[in-house]
Structure 1
């Protein structure tokens, strides 16, 4: 509940400052967490980056102002963070499907992106099997991808990343796994967002191993961290559902918060584990 209160305080601050400067460090401070923690948590819970959320909210209230007032387009553009009418017009048309001038027409349809609020919901009382473990440093060796996410779409997509790795390579990596988390692991690290709502991160698909492996593989050094490890039975759909539940149900009601570090999915023998690094609040 403490985390949810902080997240909603952060959203209130954003709402109060849509027509001014929004300092993401201050936003994170309102949520009682680091800027990295807030950006990652917001993206995982909402499905969009915080920068994209702010952009959509600003374009929503800008459209209302265009319809309800006689203010000049250039004044509204500057008010909501655009340095030129052209930049505002492009963004406005991309979101609403109409230019700012057409938006004044009473018959013109526009989009609205409502203000968000975070809530803790109880859904079915489904058990979550997890353990809290402090692990010494380890290495993940495998194939590395530079991944970009724009408008909730990953480039390259996970399917493209996986199909690009040959069966021979996957079997070789799986056979080299000799340390927990066992099996093929998918590790996401170095998550960043820019002001335009574009998110980037590095994706490693490989295995945790103690052997020195020669060849064209990349290596990710994971420092000693405290981990919450969740067991998952089932296909990818169940994995996605469990991942969402971790951030929307388990984390808000726990005494932990996210720590900066990799997010890991490990799969072996039709079973999966989700590893997230945490720290005490």
Structure 2
């Protein structure tokens, strides 16, 4: 339960510093995680990014401050808006009315509650996995630097796959696929960025311009199978890994190794399509 407690401590920290500039590195450290894994895990479990959670909570509390009689300009600055105009725009986007209209009797406002994490014990769906030790190997393919700011990674990674389809690199990489098939590799995690590779196991041919080869270290991996159309089926598996499997088993991420998505041949939009998600582990 240490992991679950750490996530709740991270939320408590966010709430205690709701009017301060978001320090995602510090929040991730409280959650016993890297910034990449914390942001990915948070989004998978809650459906919103950390930044979006903070925005909604600030605007929820801002509405309460306005109703209590505080000046709108003071409330705007308190919650990090540089101008009253920017605050009014954000307030209207969430609540559907202007800050001044919020003071009118009977005004409808929205409230986004503080989140908390807990394990939901259902017992109606097993989560199968395998633990595998794999020696180091090389992945070759196309690479792109992905940003995690405001959850952009959830947009940029699919766009990267689409770009590989359009420029022909997907077809070339796929023709070289080995036993594992096509791979999506997340690695080199920084504060707000990471490298993502669309590739395959080592290609012995001379690489065309624009392709890279990268070393994947030996690691212990947990392998989870996803059955169903992409990306929904895989997203559901990843969400369950973080919200159910990690808290239940006591394993932690090995942050020195990448996360792998393994895509065998087949119709990726079929309800029967099978792929795998590999998570590097430490006990």
TM range (shorter): 0.7 to 0.9
Matches of 2:15 and 2:281, distance apart in 1 = 29
Which sections of structure 2, spanning at least 5 residues, go unmatched? 267-273
Per the alignment, do residues 213 and 243 of structure 1 end up closer, same or farther by CA in structure 2, a change over 3 Å counting? farther
SS in 2 for 1:165: helix
The residue number in structure 1 matching 2:260 is 264
The residue number in structure 1 matching 2:250 is 255
TM-score, structure 1 length as denominator?
A: 0.80
Per the alignment, do residues 154 and 31 of structure 1 end up closer, same or farther by CA in structure 2, a change over 3 Å counting? closer
SS in 2 for 1:266: strand
The residue number in structure 2 matching 1:219 is 212
User: Which has the larger share of strand?
Assistant: 1
Superposition pairs for residues 156-175 of structure 1, below 5 Å?
158=158, 161-162=161-162, 165=165, 169-175=169-175
Once the two structures are superposed, what CA deviation does each residue of 1:8-45 show, in whole Å capped at 9, x if it has no partner?
12212222332346544443343333444433321222
The residue number in structure 2 matching 1:197 is none
Matches of 1:257 and 1:132, distance apart in 2 = 13
Contact 1:137/1:221 (8 A) holds in 2: no
The residue number in structure 2 matching 1:228 is 222
The residue number in structure 1 matching 2:3 is 3
Superposition pairs for residues 139-150 of structure 1, below 5 Å?
139-145=138-144
Per the alignment, do residues 251 and 109 of structure 1 end up closer, same or farther by CA in structure 2, a change over 3 Å counting? same
TM-score, structure 2 length as denominator?
A: 0.79
The residue number in structure 1 matching 2:122 is 123
Superposition pairs for residues 3-42 of structure 1, below 5 Å?
3-20=3-20, 23-42=23-42
Which sections of structure 1, spanning at least 5 residues, go unmatched? 195-199
Matches of 2:214 and 2:136, distance apart in 1 = 7
SS in 1 for 2:208: coil
The residue number in structure 1 matching 2:113 is 114
Contact 1:148/1:154 (8 A) holds in 2: no
The residue number in structure 1 matching 2:201 is 208
SS in 2 for 1:211: coil
Per the alignment, do residues 107 and 247 of structure 1 end up closer, same or farther by CA in structure 2, a change over 3 Å counting? same
Contact 2:9/2:30 (8 A) holds in 1: yes
Superposition pairs for residues 232-243 of structure 1, below 5 Å?
232-236=226-230, 237-243=232-238
